[in-house]
Amino acid sequence: MRIISECQFLLRGAITVGDAIVREDGRFIVGPAFIQAYQLQENDAIYPRIIADESVIKEIKKSGQQIEQYLQQDSDKEYFIDYIKVFMQKQSLNKQKIRVRLRREDIFNCLTKSFKENYQEENHNISQKYGWTIQYYKKVGVWENG
């Protein structure tokens, strides 16, 4: 939420659970978990979402918590972090308050404008990312007209 709100920037990625070595300054990361996350991000996270590896799903189940508390399954069967839901829970906000915040930070206009501009310029691989984000906001019920 902070990245879209403060930077008006979309990002994608993946998370895994497993072994990795991280140098203290964070400039060097290596290990099977890092490689798996990198490959998932490159190959499967085509939309602006953070997808969760099966190892993450297993850890959530093992903890006794519900997957739906943190993740949402997309139409391509990938689980991704439902960041709006998680943010609402952490901040004790309802959908209306999120909608007001997104409107105040001009996120609706930014997403709509970027979608239209890229679509008109036939940058369809970029416009679909904005379109996906708009649909996600609509699905979780925080889009300004939803």
pLDDT at 71 (0 to 100): 96
User: What local confidence, expressed as pLDDT, does residue 145 receive?
Assistant: 75
CB burial of residue 56 (10 Å; 0-12, 13-18, 19+): buried
The pLDDT of residue 4: 85
Task: List, for the chain, all residue ranges whose pLDDT scores fall below the cut of 70.
Answer: 146
Q: CA–CA separation, 55 vs 48, rounded Å?
A: 21
What pLDDT is recorded for position 144? 86
pLDDT, residue 61, reads 94
Do residues 116 and 109 lie in contact, with contact meaning Cβ atoms separated by under 8 Å? no
pTM exceeds 0.75 for this model: yes
Domain boundaries, the chain: 2-140
- Specify the pLDDT at position 106: 92
Q: What is the pLDDT of residue 7?
A: 81
